[in-house]
Amino acid sequence: MTSRTGGMIAAWGTAYLQGHVSLEPAIDHVVGDRTSMVRQSYTLGPAGNPWDEPPPPDVEIVAQGEAITFGELLQRLRQRGIARLHAAFPLPGNSDGIGPGPGQAAAYESGSAAGIEELRLVVTEDESTEDALGLAVYTNPTRTHYVSVSEAQLELTEALQHATSLLSDLDVASWNSSLRARTGRVLREASQDVLPAVCPSRASHLLLRAEQVGSVLDLSADDPAGGAVTGHEARGRDAALAPLRRHVARALAAAYNSVPY
């Protein structure tokens, strides 16, 4: 799967901002044993592109040339009265949660983002390593669209059933022993993403289900034909999987955004 950092920032950041957890567990679940460094984008863009201009003072979280830790970022957001972050997993042609701008492009590249709707800011992973988590804050409009866990679960189940039916009709092999083994490794890594206890238990089940389906989609991309013999079958396979990818993204967002209001 692509980076899930935006989801973890949204879930644990919101839990901290609303007082469900203290700062330490929020940092631990997002940063772990790494160090963290947060910078804000001040890139000047061409005239007419206001989202590339430096942020106005009221949305400046990190001063130009300054770098802060993830914990300091959460504390500054709390001081601003922010009570919720929202996770987004944008896909080409489906940018739910993030409007046009550099934050959207960065979220596409990293695979996820955490939006701060009140401040029109987006936080994405940027240049992270095994030892350090790098985050970038962009001035960027956000478009929060919350989906309930139950709704996302139903949508994902129906999309999976529909895709399976289409693939079966095309007689396309979508599983093999190697793919199952690699998917298992992905899921073991994904299981480390623990949601805050305040989230409903069904959100954790949805998260793992979405990770499972998403890992199949990502890993099967290593075999572009996906078992398809003809061009017609390959095109049919892509058509079947595109909506499923969108529902996986919606399910991930629903799970990570499930901290109660």
User: CB under 8 Å to 11, separation ≥6 — which residues?
Assistant: 87, 195, 196, 199, 256, 257, 258, 259
> pLDDT category, 72, cuts 50, 70, 90?
very high
More confident site: 100 or 124? 124
DSSP string of 219-236?
Answer: HHTTSTTTT--SHHHHHH
Of 198, 209, 216, the closest CA to residue 155 belongs to 209
Mean pLDDT of 32-46: 83
Tens digit of each residue's pLDDT (9 = 90 or more) over 139-169: 888 877 789 999 999 999 999 888 777 666 6
For residue 101, the model assigns a pLDDT of: 83
Each residue's pLDDT tens digit, 191-212:
566 999 999 999 999 999 998 8
Task: State the residue for tokens 């078992």.
Answer: 227
Rounded Cα distance between 53 and 76, Å, is 22
Q: State the Cα–Cα distance between residues 240 and 257, nearest whole angstrom.
A: 27
Over 50: is that where the pLDDT of 173 sits?
no
For the chain, the C-alpha Rg in angstroms (whole number) is 19
pLDDT tens digit sequence for 234-243 = 676 677 788 8
- Here the tokens at position 111 are 């695979």
Judge whether residue 175 has pLDDT over 70.
no
Burial 119-144 (b: 16+ CB within 10 A, else e): bbbbbbbbebeeeebbbbbbbbbbeb
* Per-residue pLDDT at 228 exceeds 70: no
Give the pLDDT score at 48.
44
Which pTM does this prediction carry?
Answer: 0.86
Q: Where exactly are the structural domains of the chain?
A: 5-143, 149-256
Measured distance CA(53)–CA(135) in Å, rounded: 19
Q: Which tokens sit at 143? A: 């478009």
